[in-house]
């Protein structure tokens, strides 16, 4: 009896295994999807190969970015400057950079590049060279204008620094360490930098583009190849022979060089206004002591005898708050506003004295070549 039962079970199992083999081999679609058992149902949809796909081109500043066109546009206008000073014991030689601003051969550079030079030689990007004549200098802005006599010159395209924004890309072109024409890239780090103690009139563009010895007087251009400034100086890291570029460079804005160059070309000098008064900034403590609503304005520290300010009745201790219609914020703004006055121009001075507001009138003089006060 037991033997018959066992034989029957064996036959049933054999039949079931055979049926399973047939189903798995010939009809697998009859089987449940074992991979989804015990899981949430997931709907998978294949991508339609005929679907309309839109591909966006990567922005230029992310893929294949190059400023070749900007550099190619500006670099024919940037020159190398070599100076010789034979008036000192021995012969001193120096190098720097400059920018052609006019096809007639006028070149702008820094005054310190050509200071004391007895001979100035200019080499163009195409390696033509010529002796340069000094047209005039403006030590207050560290600018100079030279002139060369060569045909087929390419003048730089002027840009506008008032359209620059912090973070914009700029490129410095010049002759660092006399290695030849070189280009470095950076961004505008800051605008309207003052109180650097370098020039009398300061309104610098700050950049982290590499500017080194020999770059002085070279071009700072925007990403379109337009001139926005003249490279002027850098802040070095380290001391002595261990100094290096700290990524803090400064350029004179194009509007300043245009104004200065125009006057130097026309008259050989720059005429600026003068009122004959020095000043100092008002601290919060001073504002409180003088019962002023804020620290705007400057306190008059000295008045030149018989100068325009003295003739108007300005006194030491007066608070100067306005020149004509321009508010005076600090010493730097006073210096710049006075400099923009034309000699002989009528001037109104807004004064606070002993809590009273006064308007004093005078006539602007001409700033002396070496002035101790505006």
**Residue 81, C-beta contacts closer than 8 angstroms, at least 6 positions apart:** 95, 96, 97, 98, 107, 109, 113, 114, 120, 121, 122, 123, 132, 146, 175, 217
Give per-residue burial for 65-98: e unless 16+ CB within 10 Å, then b.
eebeebbebbbbbbbbbbbebeeeeeeeebbbbb
**Residue 353, C-beta contacts closer than 8 angstroms, at least 6 positions apart:** 315, 317, 318, 319
pLDDT category of residue 286 using cuts at 50, 70 and 90: confident
pLDDT category of residue 201 using cuts at 50, 70 and 90: confident
Q: How confident is the model at residue 49, as a pLDDT?
A: 36
Q: Quote the strand ranges of 39-180, DSSP E.
A: 78-85, 92-100, 106-109, 119-123, 129-131, 133-138, 143-147, 169-174
Tell the CATH topology of 273-366: Pdz3 Domain (2.30.42)
Percent above pLDDT 70 for the chain:
78
Cα 101 vs. chain centroid, distance in angstroms? 19
Torsion sign (Cα): 29, 32, 37, 41: positive
Query: Is residue 64 scored above 80 in pLDDT?
Result: no
- Cα–Cα distance, 11 to 116 (Å, whole number): 118
Q: How confident is the model at residue 11, as a pLDDT?
A: 65
206, 217 contact by CB (below 8 A)? no
348, 309 contact by CB (below 8 A)? no
Average pLDDT, the chain: 83
Q: How confident is the model at residue 12, as a pLDDT?
A: 67
pLDDT category of residue 37 using cuts at 50, 70 and 90: very low
| Catalytic site positions | 112, 142, 216
Q: What is the DSSP letter of 56?
A: P
300, 316 contact by CB (below 8 A)? yes
- Cα–Cα distance, 170 to 223 (Å, whole number): 6
| Architecture of the domain delimited by 161-236+244-267 | Beta Barrel (2.40)
Q: Residue 80 belongs to what H/E stretch?
A: strand 78-85
More confident position, 67 or 89:
67
More confident position, 16 or 293:
293
Q: How confident is the model at residue 26, as a pLDDT?
A: 55
- Cα–Cα distance, 361 to 24 (Å, whole number): 109
Pick from 361, 336, 335: which is nearest to 347 by CA?
361
In the chain, list all ranges with CATH 2.40.10.10.
Answer: 68-147, 161-236+244-267
User: Which of the given ranges, 23-27, 31-35, 105-109, 342-346, has the highest pLDDT on average?
Assistant: 105-109
Least confident of 239-243, 257-261, 295-299: 239-243
Selected from 2.102.10.10, 2.40.10.10, 2.60.120.10, 3.40.190.10, the CATH number assigned to the domain covering 68-147 reads 2.40.10.10
Query: Is residue 84 scored above 80 in pLDDT?
Result: yes
104: phi then psi, degrees, rounded to nearest 5:
-75, -5
165: burial class by Cβ within 10 Å (0-12, 13-18, 19+)? exposed
Average pLDDT over residues 251-263: 94
Pick from 320, 337, 330, 335: which is nearest to 371 by CA?
335
Query: Is residue 246 scored above 90 in pLDDT?
Result: no
- Cα–Cα distance, 372 to 374 (Å, whole number): 7
Q: What is the dihedral of CA 312, 318, 319, 322, to 10 degrees?
A: 0
CA angle 63, 68, 72 (to 5 degrees): 165
* Residue-wise pLDDT tens digits, 145-177: 999 999 999 999 999 988 999 999 999 999 999
Q: How confident is the model at residue 200, as a pLDDT?
A: 85
In the chain, list all ranges with CATH 2.30.42.10.
Answer: 273-366
166, 216 contact by CB (below 8 A)? no
Q: How confident is the model at residue 167, as a pLDDT?
A: 93
Average pLDDT over residues 49-68: 53
More confident position, 107 or 9:
107
Around 194, how many Cα atoms within 13 Å sit in the side-chain half-sphere? 12
DSSP codes of every residue in 252-279: EEHHHHHHHHHHHHHHSS---EE--EEE
**Residue 254, C-beta contacts closer than 8 angstroms, at least 6 positions apart:** 158, 159, 160, 161, 227, 228, 229, 230
Q: What is the DSSP letter of 36?
A: G
Count of other CB atoms within 10 angstroms of residue 57:
7
């Amino acid at each position: 009896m037991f033997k018959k039962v066992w034989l029957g079970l064996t036959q049933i199992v054999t039949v079931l295994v055979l049926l399973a083999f047939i189903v798995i081999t010939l009809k697998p679609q009859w089987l449940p999807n074992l991979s989804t058992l015990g899981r949430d149902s997931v709907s998978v949809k294949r991508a339609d190969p005929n679907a309309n796909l839109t591909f966006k081109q990567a922005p230029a500043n992310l893929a294949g970015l190059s400023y070749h066109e900007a550099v190619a546009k500006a670099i024919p206008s940037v020159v190398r400057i070599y100076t010789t000073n034979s008036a000192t014991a021995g012969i001193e030689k120096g190098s720097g950079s400059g920018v052609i601003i006019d096809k007639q051969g006028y070149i702008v550079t820094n005054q310190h590049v050509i200071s004391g030079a007895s001979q100035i030689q200019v080499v163009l990007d195409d390696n033509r060279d010529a002796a340069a004549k000094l047209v005039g200098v403006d030590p207050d802005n560290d600018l100079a204008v030279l002139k060369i006599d060569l045909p087929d010159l390419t003048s730089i395209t002027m840009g506008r620094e008032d359209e620059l924004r912090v973070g914009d890309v700029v490129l410095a072109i010049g002759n660092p360490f006399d290695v030849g024409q070189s280009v470095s890239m950076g961004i505008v780090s800051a605008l309207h930098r003052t109180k650097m103690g370098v020039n009398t009139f300061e309104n610098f563009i700050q950049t982290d583009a590499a500017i080194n010895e020999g770059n002085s007087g070279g071009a700072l251009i925007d990403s379109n190849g337009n001139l926005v400034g003249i490279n002027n100086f850098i802040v070095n890291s380290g001391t002595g022979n261990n100094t290096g570029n700290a990524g803090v460079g400064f350029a004179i804005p194009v509007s300043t060089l245009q104004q200065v160059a125009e006057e130097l070309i026309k008259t050989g000098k720059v005429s600026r206004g003068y009122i004959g008064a020095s000043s100092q900034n008002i601290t919060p403590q001073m504002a409180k002591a003088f019962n002023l609503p804020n620290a705007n304005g400057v306190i008059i520290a000295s008045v030149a005898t018989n100068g325009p300010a003295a003739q108007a009745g300005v006194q030491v201790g007066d608070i100067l708050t306005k020149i004509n219609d321009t508010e005076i914020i600090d010493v730097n703004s006073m210096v710049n506003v006075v400099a923009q006055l034309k000699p002989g121009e009528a001037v109104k001075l807004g004064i606070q004295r002993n809590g009273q507001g006064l308007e004093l009138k005078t006539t602007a003089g001409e700033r002396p070549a070496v002035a101790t006060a505006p």
